[in-house]
């Protein structure tokens, strides 16, 4: 991250200098579409994120310069002061969510920049929210705990940006720890760190971005959520203790297969399997068993493609190439219908995999995938 450029732009727009704060984007190794089913996710913070220089300005106005967009916004701290620019609403939303929780803040000047690739599913928006939530908490000595900082980011998305997201992205950005992934229980909000250091075991973690995003006529996420809820309702008639699919077993699913549609059965089969795969991967990492981690990643891709039907031809093609190149693990990362695959690759196979994937993907789809190496890093912090 080029902090020198941020310093220069801050001085140019606001004079003198401020304090630097940073927050990362994230990957999710495994645990897809499990969050709204009360299950587990397994994210980690990455070495790409957002950095902001911030200084109090003695007024009740916030003055913001986006280095990457070369755009300026200014706004007050009351609800009716919302800025027109979409990007500035993230910062305004964080200020408002802090105030709603009783935190008193005042005007500040800030310039910010990021190196999280936009649209690649690494949560640049969560990185931006976490940067400002953490910075304002420290600058104004508000004493907000880290979980509430993550919730402030999530509420910003819900209330000011129109995105009804779960908590995983902001959680990973705030709680990230170098060399560790985090298993978050989306029902109880309990979490635990697991060591994840692929480099020292001869592996690399790389994202291949298909650079496609399929426009969808209906809301596939809502449809899949409804499928899951119908299956839970059917199982709960026999097993009232089942509140989410996370509580169900394959045997319970078999019991109700005559009462639900084949499509709903396949959706539920994926989620029940995925809940177990996250636990399998956690166990495998405690044994440094990266082979099992990779096998579970392939199983997740297969389930997302065939049972949950959120893949697309481009992502299936990247997954196929990975398999043929001997890549240890590969799967779609994120909601689906475009975006990235996440790949766990033996270091000695890496160069061949990347060149093969670029050539074969380009010859079929007319453009190369973008390549992002990722290293698991620390969460929100002052620099």
Sign of the Cα pseudo-torsion (323, 324, 327, 328, in order): positive
Bridge partners, 52 (sequence order): 21, 112
Are residues 354 and 346 in contact, defined by beta-carbon separation less than 8 angstroms? Answer: no
What's the CA gap between 127 and 113, in Å, rounded? 11
Residue corresponding to tokens 């989620």: 271
Q: State yes or no: is 115 an active-site residue.
A: no
Are residues 336 and 304 in contact, defined by beta-carbon separation less than 8 angstroms? Answer: yes
Are residues 69 and 305 in contact, defined by beta-carbon separation less than 8 angstroms? Answer: no
Burial 124-161 (b: 16+ CB within 10 A, else e): bbbbbbbbbbbbbbbbbebebebebbbbbbbbbbeebb
Are residues 177 and 191 in contact, defined by beta-carbon separation less than 8 angstroms? Answer: no
What count of residues does the chain have?
Answer: 383
Are residues 300 and 334 in contact, defined by beta-carbon separation less than 8 angstroms? Answer: no
Catalytic residue among 60, 109, 115, 169: 169
Q: What is the DSSP string of 178-221?
A: TTEEEEEETTT--EEEEE--GGGGTEEEEEEEEEEE---SS-HH
Residue corresponding to tokens 């979980």: 147
Structure tokens at 60: 């009740």
Local structure of residue 376 (DSSP, 8 states): B
CB-based contacts of 363, cutoff 8 Å, min separation 6: none
Give the CA diameter of the chain: 70
User: Does residue 104 sit in helix, strand or coil?
Assistant: coil
Query: Which residues form the catalytic set?
Result: 169
């Amino acid at each position: 991250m080029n902090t020198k450029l941020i310093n220069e732009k801050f001085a140019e727009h606001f004079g003198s200098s401020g304090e630097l704060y940073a927050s990362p984007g994230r990957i999710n190794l495994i645990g897809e579409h499990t969050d709204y089913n009360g299950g587990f996710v397994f994210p980690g913070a990455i070495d790409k994120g957002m950095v902001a220089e911030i200084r109090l300005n003695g007024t009740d106005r916030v003055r913001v310069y986006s280095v990457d967009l070369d755009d300026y916004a200014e706004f007050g701290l009351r609800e009716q002061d919302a800025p027109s620019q979409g990007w500035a609403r993230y910062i305004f939303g964080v200020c408002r969510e802090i105030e709603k929780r009783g935190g008193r803040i005042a005007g500040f000047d800030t310039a910010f920049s990021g190196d999280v690739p936009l649209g690649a599913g690494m949560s640049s928006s969560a990185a931006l929210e976490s940067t400002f939530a953490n910075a304002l908490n420290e600058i104004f000595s508000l004493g907000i705990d880290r979980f509430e900082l993550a919730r402030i980011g999530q509420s910003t998305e819900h209330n000011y940006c129109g995105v009804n997201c779960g908590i995983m992205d902001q959680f990973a950005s705030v709680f990230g720890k170098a060399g560790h992934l985090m298993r978050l229980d989306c029902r109880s909000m309990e979490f635990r760190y697991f060591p994840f250091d692929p480099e020292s075991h001869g592996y690399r973690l790389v994202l291949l971005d298909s650079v496609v995003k399929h426009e969808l006529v209906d809301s596939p996420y809502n449809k899949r959520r409804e499928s899951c809820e119908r299956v839970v309702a059917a199982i709960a008639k026999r097993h009232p203790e089942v509140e989410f699919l996370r509580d169900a077993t394959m045997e319970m699913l078999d019991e109700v297969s005559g009462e639900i549609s084949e499509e709903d059965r396949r959706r539920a089969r994926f989620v029940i399997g995925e809940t177990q795969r996250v636990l399998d991967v956690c166990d495998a990492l405690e044994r440094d068993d990266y082979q099992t981690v990779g096998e579970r990643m392939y199983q997740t891709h297969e389930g997302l493609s065939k049972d949950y039907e959120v893949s697309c031809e481009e992502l299936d093609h990247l997954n196929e190439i990975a398999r043929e190149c001997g890549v240890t693990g590969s799967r779609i990362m994120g909601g689906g219908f475009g975006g990235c695959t996440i790949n766990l690759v033996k270091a000695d196979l890496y160069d061949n995999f990347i060149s093969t994937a670029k050539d074969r993907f380009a010859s079929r789809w007319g453009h190369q995938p973008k390549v992002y190496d990722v290293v698991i890093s620390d969460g929100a912090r002052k620099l």
